[in-house]
A and B are shown apart, each in its own frame.
Chain A
């Protein structure tokens, strides 16, 4: 038994998933400095994967044992309440670590010919550490710092293919918008501090009642904080960087950004808005739910329509991931002062978990195609099904799952999400989501059609079958499928841990 708080283990052990990731990153740097010219890709990738999986296992173990949940005495606060370990942070940690593991193993082949491999994996792990800390942040200060810790390695990773103009350009754009939104975020924090005199989320909440005279400043501050999250989650109107960055970045990094990094943005948004600005205690005239409703509708619609017009598969996926940010936003948009809030928030978290598998898998399939030198448009994918059947089956699973077609994991998580939204009384939000979801089948099925149905016109010979990439793609596909029978524990855990926030 290692349920913290009911065992002799010290409280700081609760952050061990983050520590494991950080230490593995440092270890990678150490190995790299012992032999800087080495390009022993299996060792580095294996270490990185092992570290991520270890962190995953520890987080999963904590979650099962009830660490930080009401069963063992509630959330564990650390370092003067700056960090808090509870069910939600552990749940999100599962997403970050499993995506990091898939990305690490897939990168083994993808970057095997590049320099600075040790640094690559170290940066991935540091970014993951930042994401875990984001999900644990209980203060706007740690939120800001951990967001930067997640973002800075990401900028470098996007630019990793530095001989490739697209990669560098994408990183530049990502960095500029990231820096801008960080500034906006920081400004928002300072405004909220000005009104409430505190940075700790619970203290902000309790100081809100005395803020009646400054609702304008408070509203402005919240809106700016929201802007910072919108950047991280690639939500409209801060989504412009996403297609460029995802297209230019190495494909495994696109997977990492669009799955893990997006989930991290949601993790922090969930906690900050629910804990610091509770719906019951807001001063009159400040209504962040309305902002999220607008954001959700606009994000999913715009993302879907933009995705439908793309000719480039990677860009299509990038825009579709904007659309999925819109679905996940329903988790915040369907909250009300006394509604059944935990269910819809939990459903949104469960969707992010399923999304972590299916979206990572889809981008990793693109990494596989790039590894083989297949082009980027839909036509270039024609006939791949005959040449690489297993990977193409996996890709078809991802596409249908992303479109929300049964019997894949994506259907379940979308169903749970829309259902919970209706249950909370926001049936129109669910209707917009369902219609968008039906439309999305159009562009997702284009990929499937290209893979299996279109005739192969190119004379491209596929090279070797890269072990790491294949492993990751198949792992993601199996995960997407297994989430069908195993959805019950996922949704139940998500809704339980979400309930602890309210």
Chain B
């Protein structure tokens, strides 16, 4: 019952914070959010899962009982963790607390509602990463949208209403496509499954139990479902050309919401791609390896080029997320231990680093009230600590060795290069690696123009070093980035255990 406890604590904390007075809300939320951290770290220490939860591995902290019986398919309350979920759960709990602390300065209206929504989102994110029944998973998946919609819409920038609606519409339509695709699969499986538990469905699909449905034969149904689900998850990731909601959402969202959006919400997309498309239907993924790899490469390069062209620091980081998530897709489609494992590791690494970058931009913005590259230079003179962490984070983004980003990208590249799914994979990998150069380009350019050189600032505000509680979350994140870069095995071993069964069993692999 540990997972239920974790989720319940976050829900209750959300309620408590929601009704608490504004002046205490931020502190209270931060204090309460320490409980899920403690819980997730404890679970990490007790973690004993082996194998992949969907493919017959043993599941840690499992609960499974019938929630409601509906026709031939029961809905189970089924939660549990394997090596893929565990790191993401830890990431979620830690990032939530840091995001909450980073909100103390910028959020000055309706605080209790803000922090309540942050905790409510945490609860649902934990549910997404631990649910193992499709129905339960989908409930959490959709419920994440609601708090994010409010976070952008109420506390966002000048175009917040547009951005919030766009975010909501894009991701909700994506969910519908995905839902239809999955349900069609389940009905195609017919009597060979008795519930929507993901392991049951994954095993049945890989065992070739699929029949036809709604006039489609098994092959066509599988392809159609794969595409519907791929599109549904790709919007969330996001990949080019379904990425246009992301810069809008990021630019308008308040910093803590951006941190959660880039740090955790985007990972929902790649997590789901891994769990559903690449685990359940490896044969279709193999057949589509060229288009998927192409999309990944285009996302990497195009996202990076777009970032190069931006003047707004936050937009730069936002577009660079499109680029980084492209690597994750490339790793997934490679179908090697290093590729898929590296992609999973990169989810966590990118979560930490992009969170760090968004927070750093946020801290600079709190002081200067501008994010435009042209409005400032030499900020490092006045804000040395923040700038230092910004630079360190940027190097992490570029993949400096001994930082988490390096480990993730290295694994992905190694895995993709040695991949045997298609003879063109090394070519795609090489093309994607040019992304690294562009990343270095835009980050160095942005830093050179804003942080270094003679101090100049075209604004009315006094530029001084940020308060301790603004910088502390940055420092914590930087520390975690380095720790994970030095010792990737903290997560990589458990990830590997969960990834290997995907590559070994069943299908045409």
CA of A416 to CA of B69, assembled, Å: 10
Per-residue CB contact flags for chain B residues 113-126 toward chain A (1 = under 8 Å, else 0) read 10000000000000
CA distance A491 to B75 in the complex (A): 12
Mask, B186-217, CB within 8 Å of A = 1, is 01000000000000000000000000011000
In the complex, what residues of B have CB within 8 A of residue A386's CB? 110
B146 touches A400 (CB 8 A): yes
Interface-located stretch among A84-92, A268-276, A330-338, A420-428: A420-428
Contact, CB under 8 Å: B172 / A438: yes
Q: Are B214 and A427 within 8 A (Cβ)?
A: yes
Q: How far is the CB of A498 from chain B (nearest CB, A)?
A: 13
Interface size on B, residues (CB 8 A): 36
Contact check, B187 vs A422: say whether CB atoms are below 8 A apart. Answer: yes
Is A115 part of the contact surface with B, judged by Cβ < 8 Å?
no
Q: Is the CB of B187 within 8 A of A452?
A: no
> B168 and A454: CB pair below 8 A?
no
Task: Point out the residues of chain A lying under 8 angstroms from B265, CB to CB.
Answer: none
B153 proximal to A (CB < 8 A): yes
Q: Give chain B residues whose Cβ lies under 8 Å from the Cβ of A372.
A: none
Would you call A419 and B71 a contact (CB within 8 A)? yes
Interface residues of A in 405-436 (CB under 8 A from B): 405-407, 411-412, 415-416, 419-420, 422-423, 427, 431, 434-435
Query: Closest 6 CB pairs between A and B?
Result: A406-B139, A453-B153, A488-B68, A406-B142, A423-B71, A407-B139
B69 touches A406 (CB 8 A): no
Q: Tell whether A479 is near chain B: CB-to-CB under 8 Å.
A: no
Q: Does B72 contact A (CB under 8 A)?
A: yes
Contacts of B71 in A (CB 8 A): 340, 343, 419-420, 423
Asked if residues A423 and B139 are in contact (CB atoms below 8 Å), the reply is: no
* Complex contact B142–A405 (CB within 8 A): yes
Residues of B within 8 A of A (CB): 67-73, 110, 113, 135, 138-140, 142-143, 145-146, 149-150, 153-154, 160-161, 164-165, 168-169, 172-173, 176, 179-180, 183, 187, 213-214
In the bound complex, CA of A407 to CA of B160 (Å): 25
Chain A, interface SS category: helix
Residues from chain B with Cβ under 8 Å of A454 in the complex? 161
Per-position binary interface string of chain A over residues 374-408, scored 1 when its CB falls under 8 Å from any chain B CB and 0 otherwise: 00000000000010010000000000100001110
A sample of 11 more A-B contacts (CB under 8 A), given A405-B145, A406-B138, A453-B154, is: A389-B113, A407-B139, A407-B142, A411-B142, A427-B187, A435-B176, A453-B161, A454-B161, A488-B68, A488-B69, A492-B68
**Sample (17) of A-B pairs whose CB atoms are under 8 Å apart:** A386-B110, A405-B146, A406-B138, A407-B140, A416-B70, A419-B73, A427-B187, A431-B180, A435-B176, A438-B173, A438-B176, A441-B172, A449-B161, A453-B150, A454-B161, A487-B68, A488-B67
Query: A412 contacts which chain B residues (CB < 8 A)?
Result: 68
Cα(A389)–Cα(B112), bound, Å: 11
CB neighbours (8 Å) of B135 from chain A are 415
Contact with B along A430-474 (1 / 0, CB 8 A): 010011001001100100010011100000000000000000000
Q: Which residues on A sit within 8 Å (CB–CB) of B168?
A: 441, 445
| Bound Cα distance A407, B110 (Å) | 24
Is B143 touching A407 in the complex (CB atoms < 8 A)?
yes
Chain B residues contacting A419 (CB-CB under 8 Å) are 70-71, 73, 183
Contacts of A411 in B (CB 8 A): 139, 142
Give the distance to chain A from B120, nearest Cβ to Cβ, in Å.
11
A324-373, CB < 8 A from B: 340, 343
Contacts of A488 in B (CB 8 A): 67-69
Q: How far is the CB of B392 from chain A (nearest CB, A)?
A: 37
Smallest beta-carbon distance A165→chain B, Å: 36
Min Cβ gap B446→A in Å is 31
Which residues of A have CB within 8 Å of B172? 438, 441
Closest to B173 in A: A438
A434:B176 contact, CB within 8 angstroms: yes
Report the Cα distance A407→B120, complex, angstroms: 12
- A453 to B161 CA separation, bound complex (whole angstroms): 7
B46, chain A: closest CB distance, angstroms: 28
Complex Cα gap A343–B70 (Å):
8
